[in-house]
Structure 1
C-alpha cells in the first residue's frame, strides 16, 4: 500500500509509471525526494538582523581580507534598489567562503538596511553552529523561498549547480518569470576551498568575485524566454569571466 501511494503521488506530479525494478526505484526515490522537499522550512525574512550585520561586519571583513584577500568587483553593476536575482557559482565543497566574501561586500556597498538573502542547503540553515548565517539573511533553498524574498523586493543570491538543466530548475525560472523581478546579475568568484563542516579549514586562497552587468530576460529573450537559450547565454558569460579571472592567478592554490 505504501508503494502504491507513492506511485500514485508520483503520477499526479507528472511522472509516468515505469515498468520493472528501475521504474519502481525511481518512483520510490521521487516520492522520498518530495517528502524531503516538503520539510524545507519556509523562509522567515525577519530573521535577517541589520543591527547584527552592522556590528559584525568590520571583524568579518578583516578575517576575509587577511585569510582570503577577498576582492569583489563590479558591485556598481547591481541595480541599486528593488528585487534582483544574483546568479553565481561557488568554488565547491560544504564550506563556501566565497559566499561570505560576497555577502560582506554587498552589505558594505549597499548598506545593511537593503534586504539581501542567500539561498543555502537546508542542512546549512539547520546547523546550530551556523545559526548566525540566518541573521545575515541566509534561507533554505527552494522555489517558494526564492519567490518570497523576491516578492518582498529583496536581492537574492543563488548558486545553482549540478547537471545541465539544474540552473533553470534551481532558479524556478518558470515561476519567477511571472514575477516582476528582473534583471538578473551574475556574481562570479574564483577561489578554492576543501573539506566538510568538521575537521577542514578553507585554504587561504585569494577569492575574487566579479558582478557582471544585469540581464533583463524579457528584454533580451522576449516575453516567453526559452530556458535552454537563457541557460546557454548565462553559462557562456559566466565561463568567459571565470576564464579571465583564472588567467590573473599567479600561484597554485594561493592565487
Structure 2
C-alpha cells in the first residue's frame, strides 16, 4: 500500500499574493500542506550541498496542493507545453466558463466554449474526455490515496491527454507524494543543469544520479529547483 502522509488543510483566497492589478476569479479554495516538508528540508540540507544553499533562500515557502482531483488534472492539461503565465491566463478564462470546475459543468460547456478560453482543440478534447471518465467513474479516484505511485500513473494514463508528466504533476500537487522525480519535466532538468552542472545540458541519467541523494524526498528537491528558476510557483 502507498505510504499515508498527514495532510494539513489551509484555506485562503485563490490568487493571494498576486499582483492586485491582475484580474483573477476569487474563490475560497482549500490548500493542503504536506506534513513531511520540514523534515525533508532538514534531511536534504544535511545530504546535499546545493540544497543546503538553495532551501534557505525560500524561507517558509513550501509546496501547496489542492484536494479536488478533477480540478488538478484539468489544470495540468491546460498547463501542458506552455509557460506558467500563459497557463494561468487560460485557466482564468476557463473558470469564467466553468466556475465550479465539475465534470458535469465541463461537459455542458462543450468544445466550442472551451476553445474560446484559449484552449487548443486537442486540449479541449482532452479535458472533455477527462470529464467523461470522472462522470462515468471509469477511473479509481476514490482509491488513489491508497494506491502506489505507479498504480496511480497507470490508472491516469488510460485517459486521453494524460501522459506520465501530467500524472506525476497530479502525484505532486494533489496526492502530495514525497518522492516523485518527473524526468519529463524540462524545468527539473534545467534546474539540475543550472545548479549542479554550471548550465551544461544534462541527461536523464545525470538527473537520476543527482537525485539519488534526495530520496525519499525527491518531490521536495524538485520543487526547490523549480523555484530557483522561477519565483512564481506553478499551481495545479
**TM above 0.5:** no
Structure with the larger strand share: 1
Structure with the larger RCO, 1 or 2 (CA within 8 Å, 6+ apart): 1
State the TM-score, normalizing by the size of structure 2.
0.24
State the TM-score, normalizing by the size of structure 1.
0.22
Structure with the larger helix share: 2
Larger radius of gyration: 1
